[in-house]
Amino acid sequence: MSIEVYRDTWGIPHLRAADAHELAHAQGRTTALDRAWQLEVERHRAQGTTAAFLGPEAVGWDVFARRSRLADTARRCFDALDEPTRTWVCAYVDGVNDGLTRGARRSPEFAATGLAPGRWEPWTPLAVWLSTHILFAGFPTKLWRDHVVRHLGEEHAELFATDGPGTSGSNGWLVTGERTATGAALIAGDPHRFIEAPGVYQQIRLACPEFDVVGLAVPGVPGLAHFGHTGTVAWAITNAMADYQDLYRERLRRTDEGGDGDGDGDGGVEALGPDGWAPARVHTETVEVKGGDPVVVEVVETERGPVIIDEPDAVISLRYPPRVTHELGFATLPALLAARTVTDVDRAFDRWVEPVNVVQAADTEGGTLHRVAGHVPLRHRDNRLRVVPAWEPGHEWTGHHDPMPREPVADVAVMANARGLASPLGVEFAAPHRANRIAHLLNERKGWTAPDMAAVHTDTHLASARPLLALVAAQPDLGLEAREVRDRLLCWNRRMTADSTDAALFAAVRGAVVRRLAQHPALAVLAEPPAYPALFQPWLALVPRVAYALETLLTGGPVPEADRLAAVRAALEEVAAAPPAQPWGATHRLAPWAALPDPGPDPEHDADWPGLDGDHDCVLSTSSVPGLTDRSARGPAARYVWDLARREDSLWVVPFGASGVPGDPHRRDQLPLWLRGGLAPVITDWNQLTEEHEEHHDHR
């Protein structure tokens, strides 16, 4: 096997092989060497086996993974792949298995948990993709809307509509050659996800005689699904905020004592559908738990889909496209690597399924693309809004949206999860502030260059502060201290910079308002969530819902205007009694997720962790939960600028580094750059890279 592995000064792997299959093997092997622990955590998450080494706290996810049939769905999707794509995925998996044992020896987490590296199956990358994105479209929001309707009435079903705590957004923008210094397009942006250590994106270069591509890979998945630059065409995506997963309230009945547990459909359970009672498939699985008793899970699947909630008062099934169609869209991945023009990218994304994304692309010939890609079923509007009764007709899927929305690009195109291109496909979208702000900044001038884009990435203007500040301005007869707080806020420049004490003051008042609104009798009835599994409770918690819908709740809704004014007044007085003495960054700090904390000193848990610029509705979207915490668990999981004039002038950065190995010099070497909004150059000259010399084994 002829494989060359190079590294740049940031430790980013640049791989070169004789053909696309050898290159896929190299990508899998290198990822296993750099990210063995991360890969194995993701494999176990997809299989629902994490509690066996992480303990009781992981049981909730494992039960959901089993009930939702993630691994089985991945197997079905793999079996449905065309032969070339299947062979390509297998090459990647062979590479992972080739490097996993050696990678595990470099990762102390294995010894700390007693976990031995396992073996990846050919379908495992598809399972990793499914487990990463199964909650991405936020179907638990339908549980919340049911809760709201039950207590506030149908007219308030969409009262809290916003990109809530369980979804992830992104910024992306395309600037055509008419507005750049080079006359060629620029594509830039930053995917917003829960920040994980190691990071959810892996910078990598994949080169062979057929193609030479740089981009951001998802560890455990071959190719470059979301962000890439082939030299002649570049692409990027954001979450389209489409609704494509349905929840059905089921009625089940037992017909015998249980069945043989082999999952062949004779387990003695029937489900009521529009045409009457029909057999459901049922079997049991056991979740092993480190330090606890095993948990036996009954897995039931009706004609709608697998039952994911099985409570005495609620049995709910999930219907999601890959389970129905046996398609994830993986044939798109090798096609993207071979793309030369936006037409190629467009054609590749025609086969995309999960998740539903807005895509932008540009090529060196001046072509541009702005479209939605993915599978969105056609069905009754009620399916989008809430849990629907499985036994009532009219809630079936009747096809899918085709063609997907698209629009031409004129000068500048922006995608930031707001209503727009994907509006016909969803219910809840991000507030327009990020999209409007990006468009405003880009349209201010011409002559943009790749380095200029950092100023857009890091913009901290908070337009969503306006409704609250309007109520602050409307407060008469305040005491001296409260007047001082009011006057400071009204003179504030509305920038959420880490060194701003006025930003901290605003955040303190905002948090106090959120808590008061959540305690108001009109909303407090929502404080006791339904008894659903703990996994879904973040979508059902009242304070985060109030926090993210604050603009709406301050300008309308069930809380009377007089009471809204009173809540703001009380918040001003509360904060005036003990105003924050430190700037916004003192409390607005990064709180990344990790399956295990690193051994030894760890900046993630250090009191001196640097403060973060930005806020939820800033372009620099570092989200906290006002009213609960200023700590930020979600933000830019990467930043990128693709330059179509010269690929070597492109730029990128991730929150931590190229390596997932504790103690490795490239574990966190990009963190200072990421924190200050900097970007590293994309190195494409092989002469500027350092070759790694190690033995490679021929597994063809």
3-state DSSP helix/strand/coil % of the chain, to nearest 5: 35, 20, 45
Q: Please identify, among 563, 582, 601, the residue that sits at the C-terminal boundary of a domain.
A: 582
Residue closest to 699 by CA, chosen among 68, 97, 42: 97
**CA–CA dist 34, 100 (Å, integer):** 9
Helices (runs of H) and strands (runs of E) counted in the chain: 22, 25
**CA–CA dist 675, 613 (Å, integer):** 8
User: Per residue in 575-592, is it b (16+ CB within 10 Å) or e — as a string?
Assistant: bbeebbeebbbebbbbbb
How is residue 465 annotated by DSSP?
Answer: G
Is residue 72 a part of any domain in this protein?
no
Sign, CA torsion 653/659/662/663: negative
Structure tokens at 371: 């479209």
Structure tokens at 692: 């790694």
**CA–CA dist 347, 25 (Å, integer):** 25
Residue 6 pairs in a beta bridge with 14, 691
Whether the Cβ atoms of residue 430 and residue 418 lie closer than 8 Å to each other: yes
Q: Tell me: cis bond preceding 355? Omega within 30 of 0 counts.
A: yes
Q: What is the pLDDT of residue 265?
A: 42
- For residue 438, the Cα-to-chain-centroid distance in whole angstroms is 20
Q: Tell me: cis bond preceding 56? Omega within 30 of 0 counts.
A: no
Q: What is the pLDDT of residue 596?
A: 78
**Predicted confidence band of residue 696 (pLDDT cuts 50, 70, 90):** very low
Whether the Cβ atoms of residue 371 and residue 240 lie closer than 8 Å to each other: no
Range of the domain at 511: 141-165+461-494+501-582
Interaxial angle between packed helices 20-47 and 70-79, expressed in degrees from 0 to 180 and rounded to the nearest 10: 150
Is residue 155 a part of any domain in this protein?
yes
Residue closest to 625 by CA, chosen among 549, 534, 522: 549
- 273 C-beta neighbours (distance < 10 Å), count: 21
pLDDT in tens, 186-204: 999 999 988 888 999 999 9
Is residue 281 a part of any domain in this protein?
yes
Number of domains in the chain: 2
Q: What is the pLDDT of residue 592?
A: 87
Is residue 437 a part of any domain in this protein?
no
Q: What is the pLDDT of residue 217?
A: 98
Whether the Cβ atoms of residue 465 and residue 450 lie closer than 8 Å to each other: no
User: Per residue in 440-449, is it b (16+ CB within 10 Å) or e — as a string?
Assistant: ebbeeeeebe
Q: What is the pLDDT of residue 1?
A: 59
Whether the Cβ atoms of residue 210 and residue 607 lie closer than 8 Å to each other: no
How is residue 676 annotated by DSSP?
Answer: T
| Per-position DSSP letters for 503-527, written without gaps between them | HHHHHHHHHHHHHHHHHSHHHHTTS
pLDDT in tens, 230-247: 999 999 999 999 999 999
Whether the Cβ atoms of residue 509 and residue 490 lie closer than 8 Å to each other: no
Is residue 476 a part of any domain in this protein?
yes
Tell me, yes or no, whether 161 and 255 share the same domain: no
DSSP H or E segment with residue 276: strand 276-287
Q: Please identify, among 308, 324, 340, the residue that sits at the C-terminal boundary of a domain.
A: 324
pLDDT in tens, 455-474: 999 999 999 999 999 999 99
Instruction: Identify the weakest region by mean pLDDT among 132-136, 329-333, 490-494.
Output: 132-136
Q: Tell me the mean pLDDT in the region 218-222.
A: 98
Whether the Cβ atoms of residue 667 and residue 197 lie closer than 8 Å to each other: no
**Nearest-5° Cα angle at 40, 672 to 286:** 135
**Predicted confidence band of residue 542 (pLDDT cuts 50, 70, 90):** very high
Tell me, yes or no, whether 569 and 465 share the same domain: yes
Q: Tell me the mean pLDDT in the region 261-290.
A: 85
Tell me the longest C-alpha to C-alpha distance in the chain: 80
Q: Tell me the mean pLDDT in the region 602-623.
A: 77
Structure tokens at 21: 């299959």
**CA–CA dist 227, 96 (Å, integer):** 22
The answer on pLDDT for 172 being more than 60 is yes
**CA–CA dist 602, 113 (Å, integer):** 18
Q: Tell me the mean pLDDT in the region 511-516.
A: 98
Q: Tell me the mean pLDDT in the region 307-311.
A: 96
Is residue 153 a part of any domain in this protein?
yes
Q: Tell me the mean pLDDT in the region 657-662.
A: 94
Q: Please identify, among 297, 324, 351, the residue that sits at the C-terminal boundary of a domain.
A: 324
Residue 593 three-state SS: strand
**pLDDT > 70 in the chain, percent:** 94
- 362 C-beta neighbours (distance < 10 Å), count: 30
Is residue 595 a part of any domain in this protein?
no
Give the CA distances from residue 72 to residues 40, 46, 68, 124, 642, in Å, rounded to whole numbers and listed in that order: 18, 10, 9, 10, 37
pLDDT in tens, 381-401: 999 999 999 999 999 999 999
| pTM for the whole structure | 0.94
The answer on pLDDT for 156 being more than 70 is yes
For β-strands 276-287 and 639-643, DSSP reports them as: unpaired
**Predicted confidence band of residue 699 (pLDDT cuts 50, 70, 90):** very low
The answer on pLDDT for 305 being more than 50 is yes
> Could you tell me the CATH number of the domain that includes residue 272?
2.30.120.10
Task: Work out the mean pLDDT of the chain and round it to a whole number.
Answer: 93
314-319 sheet: strands from edge to edge = 307-311, 314-319, 246-249, 388-389
Q: What is the pLDDT of residue 2?
A: 81
Classify residue 256 by burial, with Cβ atoms within 10 Å: 0-12, 13-18, 19+. exposed
Is residue 387 a part of any domain in this protein?
no
